[in-house]
Amino acid sequence: MTARNDRKSARATADLVAREANVSRVAVSRAFNPNASLKPEKRDRILQIARELNYTPDMAARSLVTRRSHLVGMIVPDVCSPWESQEIDALTTALQAEGFATLLFKAKADFSMDQTLLTYMRGFNPDSVIAFTENVDADVLSGFLDRAVPIYVSYDDGAQFAGTSSSLYDRLLVRQRDGIEQAVALLQGYGVRRVAYLGGKRQSLANRERELMITKILVERGMQPPTVIDGDYTYDTAYRATLDLFRVEDGADAIFAANDVGAFGAIDALRHDLGLSVPGDVSVIGFDDIPQSHWKAYNLTTVRIDLEDRVRALVRLILRRLRNPDDGPLTETLGTRLVVRGTVG
């Protein structure tokens, strides 16, 4: 057995790696930090020797010195829906590239957060926490965090929750107005008079903001307010709600769905059960622009939130806060735009 293999059987240290690689201990530390400046060939050599010696950095010990855990918590309302799953995947990938690991916490059915889980979160001492559901109040969340400042994703002016909290939080603000206004203008241009809004979960503040915005824009453009159909962002509920809209109620010239999956359910109900043409008889518009929206079976016109831009904005908020922990509230703003395909006309 070689001398190196003998040393590998014991717990390797950064000092041992440094001696084997003939570098400083600081260089070893830099090699494991993807953001640190280090020549590629030196980094590769250090990491190769670390693998041979079975060395990994002691993150717990490092966090005691740096007060950085390199962990980011994410509080999500759902992990299975197409939008949430693709966002979690993209954000996790981006954070790992910046040297962070992620902790995933799922909100309850009413979009609130179990305080036991918040206690667990505090034990991990995350550097940042992103709340994708506004129902977890910033005052409550901040009470379970040490130095981390939470980030909230909100829509339009965020008035329904921003004014209720005194604690510091950062915000990714998504401006829905542009995309929704473009959608309404398109419908109006095709002579649509009666619009139905197929909503998401009633507990969702994002859904309520979306409903308020489309109502406001319709009225501003001289159209009647939408018929509001209760939904929950799922295909099956949207399918049934669309059948009820046309078989029990008076129908509509167009359906604006709170998300793309709901729009898919509406399209299939219109075409397969009600025998109506989309867009010949009824126009349909979704929201999000998930990858399935461009599939030929749907070819959905939808309001797009750019996922890459959204992920980059969240990562910027995390890095800005860590570099300037004493700053006041930080905000990144994103717009929306209409993607026109084949379900309006």
Residue range(s) defining the domain that contains residue 45: 3-57
Q: Are residues 41 and 134 in the same domain?
A: no
Is the per-residue pLDDT at 321 higher than 70?
Answer: yes
- Per-residue pLDDT, averaged over 239-263, amounts to 96
Q: Are residues 35 and 92 in the same domain?
A: no
Q: Are residues 202 and 157 in the same domain?
A: no
The pLDDT, as a whole number, for residue 165 is 67
Is the per-residue pLDDT at 162 higher than 50?
Answer: no
Domain count along the chain: 3
Q: Are residues 297 and 229 in the same domain?
A: yes
The pLDDT, as a whole number, for residue 157 is 62
Name the pTM for this structure: 0.79
Is the per-residue pLDDT at 67 higher than 70?
Answer: no
Is the per-residue pLDDT at 64 higher than 60?
Answer: no
Q: Are residues 166 and 213 in the same domain?
A: no
Is the per-residue pLDDT at 36 higher than 60?
Answer: yes
> Within a domain: residue 341?
no
Q: Are residues 183 and 147 in the same domain?
A: no
The pLDDT, as a whole number, for residue 270 is 98
- Report which secondary-structure segment, H or E, holds 333: strand 331-334
Q: Are residues 185 and 277 in the same domain?
A: yes
Query: Which carries the bigger pLDDT value, residue 232 or residue 134?
Result: 232
The pLDDT, as a whole number, for residue 17 is 87
Q: Are residues 168 and 311 in the same domain?
A: yes
Instruction: Give the contacts of 124 (CB within 8 A, at least 6 positions apart).
Output: 69, 71, 73, 103
Q: Are residues 183 and 208 in the same domain?
A: yes
Query: Which carries the bigger pLDDT value, residue 262 or residue 3?
Result: 262
> Within a domain: residue 278?
yes
CATH number, position 298: 3.40.50.2300
Query: Which carries the bigger pLDDT value, residue 201 or residue 9?
Result: 201
Distance separating alpha carbons of residues 173 and 158, to the nearest angstrom: 8
Instruction: Give the contacts of 86 (CB within 8 A, at least 6 positions apart).
Output: 290, 291, 307
Distance separating alpha carbons of residues 162 and 156, to the nearest angstrom: 11
> Within a domain: residue 268?
yes
Q: Are residues 298 and 314 in the same domain?
A: no
The pLDDT, as a whole number, for residue 164 is 60
204-229 per-residue burial string, b: 16 or more CB within 10 A, e: under 16: bbbbbbbbebbbebbeeeebeebbeb
Q: Are residues 186 and 112 in the same domain?
A: no
The label of the residue with tokens 């126009």 reads: 283
